Structure 1
């Protein structure tokens, strides 16, 4: 039987035809679902991932039905009377792997002649399901990697552009108009000041960046989830005791990924880290070998994929800052800055401090000036009880991880990419 299984691992022409027929069937099933849940438009950068996830979900549901049907057949066979509880548990499992593993174990536990085509077909189809799942996962990872590289490339271009001085005529016009208004005392006249409501500004800013901000967090969480999934599916015997912990970590990540609101998603991520930091430390102290071994496996997965989660974390914070300040600039009124009221002046000055820092990211003084202004704004929204202060809290937290030192690390990584 093992000889047959080894032969089955090499796809025959018939198996190749069956594989592609099944893929076509899965595509058709995905299109049926798309009639209820439309796919993303073709110009969406996540089109491939959304399509592949729908395809994988349909394939997994179809596979689960076939596996459960076969488990039911085995349960009705008197030969497997001693495995009733195991068969029932496997059928109840929401995962495919326990079903596949038990079927393999039961088939291997009994001798079957090589001429028994039924059992050979079962093994052959189990190999096919495993391959199909691996192929779909590989396609998703490849698509996600392409998106990640495009985002990193776009961010790195921010440092590769030559500095373009501000056009002199704009600066002269602003200064000339401002001086004239000052001489005429119009800047102090009633009704001539441009004002803005801080709460409304925060609300508009949050609405503009909440989707892209959630996407940045999800991208990071999906990387972690993929690493854990790789470890689980590799069936490491030495990590059998860690399976409940890994499953719990996956459930936590899935809960964060399912959260729609950006601020709530961020709070769950940071809240989880804060809640479990002490607990994990105690567990690490009590079972150092098991925890250390699990960490080593995670690092092995990182090394194999060529990922540096810390660098990706730095890029994510910078990407969020870029998106927020791009919208920040658009929300500022296009009027001479001398006509701004105190609130609008504070928002304008903070935007200027960020742009100044970006021109010289190695300057610690410029970074501190920007970070200090951001902290003051956040403290002001907290003291005033602003309803939409969340965006300023998110921005302040992101800015804490983007300083002159970390920018040098980002630039060094960009030199490798560009």
Structure 2
């Protein structure tokens, strides 16, 4: 059956679909195409609804019978939120006697109900789309574990100083053969950062948008037990919007990590009423997420591993594909890190293999800091992500994958 509410959507869809001069069209193959489309649609619907509500509030202001409510009417009209406008209109209409045959009165109430239902439909569509894309991302991550178990024939193909590097040194071939073949660690970091910054930002934005949608839903639902936190919720949403607008990947990542430590830490001490209120809000957020089948910690782990996969994919492509990789210390260090990661993924329950991989990354990060490398921040992010993905963590991820698959 045709949904009459879609009649309201068609003009909006036309406006959303219209290209804006200077604005690039969203890619149809983008992971968040549906979410971006629905958010744009919801924003446009809210703007259109605000115009209609303000127009009606202005009509009420010009009605002498509502003269005692001029202050409240002006305040509601000046507000950028729809809820105060809707509540005041309902309050004033209910307070005034109307005939059952008053069609205008009935239409206003009917249209207010329509706006509420449309908002719920758009919110539900966003939640469904968000859940689908999360499932697709988790499924892709879980597929990385569908690999054969390591056998006794499997050997690490490391070319560190204990193997090929030492042999070359003994033969005194490194100096004569490495001239002009040395890989610039700064250039490698710069190219790596350029390749992963978009996918890295997408991973972070997905995490932030999940939190933002949840906060907005809690705010819109008008939870009585969180009434005192409405201002705090609005401030948190503004902070998340600010983070989403940050163009630089590293700056965005630092901002999000700081936000999580400030607002989502569940083990902080309760020392004041304000902190107690903050803890209650944090607990409510976590409860809401769990009710939706989401776990911030699990999603955080998956996000770290997803980022590692993106980095290592491009890491391999940037490594020299010629025998010169044997002759240079930097080349060998970068090559070894890739081999250690692949070895660990074959046996994620091995603490020794994880330790070898994480320590190699840690040494590389320390080297870039000591040398004052301009692009050391990519190695810092890479190292931090790896520290959060150990053998115990991988077992948790694989256990979650069994539930999903």
TM-score using structure 1 length? 0.86
Match of 2:11 in 1: 25
- Deviation of 1:379 after TM superposition, in Å, equals 1.1
Match of 1:266 in 2: 253
- Deviation of 1:204 after TM superposition, in Å, equals 0.2
Going from structure 1 to structure 2, the CA distance change for 1:144 and 1:386 (only over 3 Å counts) comes to same
Match of 1:124 in 2: 110
Are residues 1:160 and 2:150 paired? no
**Which of 82, 87, 111 is matched with 1:101 structurally?**
87
Q: 1:238-266: CA deviations, max 9, x gaps?
A: 32211001111111111111111110101
CA–CA distance in 2 between the matches of 1:83 and 1:196? Answer: 74
Are residues 1:67 and 2:56 paired? no
Q: What does 1:222-233 correspond to in 2, within 5 Å?
A: 222-233=209-220
CA–CA distance in 2 between the matches of 1:273 and 1:223? Answer: 13
Are residues 1:39 and 2:25 paired? yes
Q: What does 1:248-397 correspond to in 2, within 5 Å?
A: 248-273=235-260, 285-287=272-274, 290-336=277-323, 339-397=326-384
Q: Does the CA-based 8 Å contact 1:193-1:339 persist in structure 2?
A: no
- Deviation of 1:281 after TM superposition, in Å, equals 5.3
Going from structure 1 to structure 2, the CA distance change for 1:293 and 1:364 (only over 3 Å counts) comes to same
Q: Does the residue aligned with 1:101 lie in a helix, a strand or coil?
A: helix
Match of 2:161 in 1: none
Moved more, 137-146 or 244-253: 137-146
Q: Does the residue aligned with 1:189 lie in a helix, a strand or coil?
A: helix
CA–CA distance in 1 between the matches of 2:312 and 2:152? Answer: 18
CA–CA distance in 1 between the matches of 2:225 and 2:72? Answer: 22
Q: Does the CA-based 8 Å contact 2:168-2:327 persist in structure 1?
A: no
CA–CA distance in 1 between the matches of 2:385 and 2:309? Answer: 11
**Which of 227, 230, 238 is matched with 1:240 structurally?**
227
Match of 1:8 in 2: none
4+ runs of 1 displaced by more than 6 Å?
Answer: 164-168, 177-185
Q: Does the CA-based 8 Å contact 1:350-1:370 persist in structure 2?
A: yes
Match of 2:119 in 1: 133
Moved more, 240-249 or 54-63: 54-63
Going from structure 1 to structure 2, the CA distance change for 1:240 and 1:314 (only over 3 Å counts) comes to same
- Deviation of 1:34 after TM superposition, in Å, equals 5.0
Q: Does the CA-based 8 Å contact 2:325-2:331 persist in structure 1?
A: no
CA–CA distance in 2 between the matches of 1:38 and 1:140? Answer: 22
What runs of 5+ residues in structure 1 fail to find an aligned partner?
1-12, 172-176
Q: Does the CA-based 8 Å contact 1:221-1:253 persist in structure 2?
A: yes
Q: 1:102-129: CA deviations, max 9, x gaps?
A: 2122222223222111111111111111
Q: Does the CA-based 8 Å contact 1:239-1:294 persist in structure 2?
A: yes
Q: 1:137-158: CA deviations, max 9, x gaps?
A: 2112211211111111111011
Q: Does the CA-based 8 Å contact 1:256-1:268 persist in structure 2?
A: yes
Q: Does the residue aligned with 2:272 lie in a helix, a strand or coil?
A: helix
| Structure with the higher helix share, 1 or 2 | 1
- Deviation of 1:237 after TM superposition, in Å, equals 2.4
- Deviation of 1:179 after TM superposition, in Å, equals 12
Match of 1:197 in 2: 184
**What do you get for the CA RMSD once the two structures are aligned?**
3.0
CA–CA distance in 2 between the matches of 1:256 and 1:118? Answer: 44
CA–CA distance in 1 between the matches of 2:25 and 2:49? Answer: 23
Q: Does the CA-based 8 Å contact 2:340-2:357 persist in structure 1?
A: yes
Going from structure 1 to structure 2, the CA distance change for 1:179 and 1:28 (only over 3 Å counts) comes to same
What runs of 5+ residues in structure 2 fail to find an aligned partner?
158-163
- Deviation of 1:332 after TM superposition, in Å, equals 0.3
Match of 2:68 in 1: 82
CA–CA distance in 2 between the matches of 1:45 and 1:273? Answer: 24
Going from structure 1 to structure 2, the CA distance change for 1:394 and 1:149 (only over 3 Å counts) comes to same
CA–CA distance in 2 between the matches of 1:292 and 1:110? Answer: 43
Match of 2:160 in 1: none
TM-score using structure 2 length? 0.89
